Amino acid sequence: MDIQRQHVPRRTGLNPAKTLLVVLILMVLGLQGCAQVSRAVVQVFPYKEGCSIEASPDETSGKYSCYSFYEQGMIVLEQMDVTPTLVFPGEKINLRIRYALCPALKPLPGKIIRKITLGDQIIYESETEFDFKPGTWVCDTSFTFPSDIKIGVYRATAELSYGKKKDKRTADFEVKEKSN
């Protein structure tokens, strides 16, 4: 039996379907750089108002070697932060203080005074009666700026007072105009 081989012409070049696919992919990739994507920026505010313990009374006593203050207690304002340090009118900031109270027989009554100033102008001021508890504590409070707030560098001040003693810290931050 004679098997005759048929000669089938071989195609050269690209498959039209594959060519179209490659062209479409290249067009999409090339246009991505030109496309303007509108994205909504959502400000996540992770802070909760109030105080939470960071270190036990024993850990705090060890850090400050403050057993000699056991009867009356001793408060140290360790830190005062403003977050974020760059804000726009209408946005919110968090004022955070960290204080340590060497163990006392009971909580110490006192005050937390917070201020936000622009130069000599007081923008915000609060004075809160507060019972300082033994240990190291972090206290957060927030403040939302009005939409017509002046642009500039502001100063936040936190002061702890108890009896005749005071401890004070400051932190600067900027309110900047939104660019369109």
Give the residue extent of every domain in the chain: 50-175
User: Which of 45-49, 77-81, 107-111 ranks highest by mean pLDDT?
Assistant: 77-81
Q: Would you report the helix, strand and coil content of the chain in percent, each value rounded to 5? A: 15, 45, 40
CATH code of the domain occupying 50-175: 2.60.40.10
pLDDT of res. 5: 47
Contact 92, 144 (CB under 8 A): yes
Nearest residue to 97 (alpha-carbon basis) of 118, 117, 83, 109:
83
Burial code of 51-62, b = ≥16 C-beta within 10 A, e = fewer? beeebebeebbe
Mean pLDDT of 135-160: 94
Between 106 and 40, the more confident residue is 106
Average pLDDT estimate for 155-172: 94
Higher pLDDT, 5 or 40: 5
pLDDT at 36: 37
Answer whether residue 164 shows pLDDT above 80. Answer: yes
What average pLDDT is seen over the chain?
A: 78
Which pLDDT value is given to residue 105?
66
Percent residues over pLDDT 90 in the chain: 52
pLDDT in the model for residue 6:
47
Give the model confidence (pLDDT) of 10-34 as tens digits: 444 555 555 555 444 544 444 444 4
* Pairwise pLDDT comparison (65 vs 25), residue with the higher score: 65
Report the distance separating Cα 111 and Cα 168, nearest Å. Answer: 12
Full-model pTM? 0.70
CA-CA distances (angstroms) from residue 85 to 8, 77, 131?
75, 20, 29
Confidence at 74, pLDDT banded by 50, 70, 90: confident
Preceding amide of 84 cis, omega within 30: yes
Torsion angles phi and psi, residue 94, rounded to 5: -115, 130
| Residue predicted with more confidence, 175 or 45 | 175
Residue 44 neighbours by CB distance under 10 Å: 4
